[in-house]
Amino acid sequence: MKRKEFLAGMKAGMPVCVGYFSVSFGFGAMAIAQGLTIWQAILISASNLTSAGQFAGLTVIAAGAAILEMILTQVVINSRYALMSLALGQRLGQNVGTLKRLAVAFFNTDEVFALGMSRGKNLTPAFFVGAGTVAAIGWTSGTALGAVAGSLLPVSVRMALGVMLYGMFIAIVVPQTREEKPILISVILALIFSCLFTWVPYLNQVSGGLAIVICTVLAAALCAALFPVHDEEVAQ
């Protein structure tokens, strides 16, 4: 792992760290409310590093449901990571070995993935792991503090901090829509599908994680059919 790349990743990961801290604070507080110990809450965050998956997992634990239900819940909610990992693997290129890939995989969250992809062809495993490490520190320490303090920060501050992650996504997506027309169209399509899955009856019964997968697949597949990329355009 190149040190300079790792440090660059850590620096880029700072806003994610802050954003995660506030979200996981809520998770920590909620885990305690559901009857888990502080250490169990911390262990979940340190070993999972997912937001929606953990919140759903907490519900499964609290309900004392079957282990199979835990597996199914995680597969459905986290299936978008499979898509992201596939895209990430292509971006990293053939020369990156299995061990580095296994390390990268652990840190593949929505936000760290977004940061990594924003680096384009210059993405290195060291950068990714650097950004992921900072994010994981924010996520785990936020959980710890949330579990200990319940609700130290006023709700208004926590809520505003939660928007930080969305702000980051927007900052990554919008500039790309200006450079490539098909990207703009993929964004508009995803936007439409996502609204349908939120507001149309029956469709809005689909769980959030699965809905994201469906929206992504539909939008990306349509654009791939309409605007196939040329070899030189595709970042390896």
Partner 1 sequence: MIYIYILVMAVTTYLIRALPLTIFKKPIKNRFLKSFLHYVPTACLTAMTFPAILYATEHMISGALGLAVAVALSLWKKSLIVVAVASCATVFIAEYLIRLL
User: Does the protein bind partner 1 through residue 67 (CB under 8 A)?
Assistant: yes
Stretch that binds partner 1, among 2-10, 101-109, 130-138, 143-151 (CB under 8 A): 101-109
User: Does the protein bind partner 1 through residue 17 (CB under 8 A)?
Assistant: no
Long-range contacts at 201-208 (CB < 8 A, ≥ 24 apart): 207/76, 207/77, 208/52, 208/77
Q: Which of 110, 104, 138, 109 is nearest to 123 (CA)?
A: 104
Stretch that binds partner 1, among 1-9, 106-114, 131-139, 140-148 (CB under 8 A): 106-114
* Count of residues in contact with partner 1, rule CB under 8 A: 103
Q: Which of 81, 15, 19 is nearest to 48 (CA)?
A: 81
For residue 109, give the amino acid letter: T
Q: How far is the CB of 190 from partner 1 (least distance, A)?
A: 4
Stretch that binds partner 1, among 1-9, 36-44, 129-137, 141-149 (CB under 8 A): 36-44
Q: What dihedral angle (degrees, nearest 10) is formed by the CA atoms of 24, 191, 167, 178?
A: 150
Q: How far is the CB of 3 from partner 1 (least distance, A)?
A: 22
Within 143-182, which residues bind partner 1 (CB under 8 A)? 155-157, 159-178, 182
Residue among 145 and 182 whose Cβ is closer to partner 1: 182
Do you know the residue count of the chain?
A: 236
SS3 content of the chain, % helix, strand, coil (to 5): 80, 0, 20
Residue among 140 and 216 whose Cβ is closer to partner 1: 216
Binding test (CB under 8 A) with partner 1, winner from 2, 4, 90, 151: 90
Stretch that binds partner 1, among 1-9, 51-59, 132-140, 142-150 (CB under 8 A): 51-59
Binding test (CB under 8 A) with partner 1, winner from 20, 81, 127, 139: 81
Q: At what angle do helices 14-33 and 110-118 cross, to 10 degrees?
A: 170
For residue 182, give the amino acid letter: P
User: Does the protein bind partner 1 through residue 63 (CB under 8 A)?
Assistant: no
Q: Centre a 10 Å sphere on the Cβ of residue 112 and count the other Cβ atoms it contains.
A: 29
User: Does the protein bind partner 1 through residue 102 (CB under 8 A)?
Assistant: yes
For residue 161, give the amino acid letter: L
